[in-house]
Structure 1
Amino acid sequence: MRVLASALVAMAVAGTAQAELIKVDDQKEFVDVVAGKTLTRPLIKISVKPDGRIEGRGARWDIEGTWSWKDGYFCRDLFWGGDALGYNCQAVEATADGRIKFTSDRGKGDSAMFRLR
Structure 2
Amino acid sequence: MRLTVLASIAALLSGPAVAESFDQIDDRSEFVSVVANKNLTRLGITLTVTPSGQIVGRAFGRPVTGAWQWKSGYFCRDLYWGQRNLGANCQAVRVQGSTVRFISDQGTGDYADLQLQ
Shift of residue 20 of structure 1?
Answer: 2.4
Contact 2:24 2:94 in 1 (8 A): yes
* TM-score normalised according to structure 1 size: 0.82
Shift of residue 36 of structure 1?
Answer: 2.8
How do 1:1-117 residues align onto structure 2 when only pairs under 5 Å count? 20-96=21-97, 98-117=98-117
Question: Following superposition, which runs of at least 4 residues in structure 1 exceed 6 angstroms of deviation?
Answer: none
Q: How many residues align?
A: 98
% identical aligned pairs: 48
Question: SS at 2:112's partner residue?
Answer: strand
Shift of residue 82 of structure 1?
Answer: 1.2
Contact 2:56 2:64 in 1 (8 A): yes
CA distance in 2, matches of 1:79, 1:35: 19
**Runs of at least 5 residues in structure 1 that lack an aligned partner in the other structure:** 1-18
Question: SS at 2:79's partner residue?
Answer: strand
CA distance in 2, matches of 1:45, 1:35: 13
Contact 2:37 2:51 in 1 (8 A): no
CA distance in 2, matches of 1:81, 1:66: 14
Q: Could you say which structure has the greater relative contact order, defined with CA pairs below 8 angstroms and 6 or more residues apart?
A: 2
Shift of residue 92 of structure 1?
Answer: 0.2
Contact 2:75 2:92 in 1 (8 A): yes
Question: SS at 2:47's partner residue?
Answer: strand
Kindly provide the amino acid, as one letter, of the partner of residue 108 in structure 1: T
Kindly provide the amino acid, as one letter, of the partner of residue 99 in structure 1: T
* TM-score normalised according to structure 2 size: 0.82
CA distance in 2, matches of 1:101, 1:20: 11
How far does the alpha carbon of each residue in 1:58-78 deviate from its partner, in whole angstroms, 9 at most, with x for none? 001100000000000000000
CA distance in 2, matches of 1:49, 1:89: 17
**Runs of at least 5 residues in structure 2 that lack an aligned partner in the other structure:** 1-19
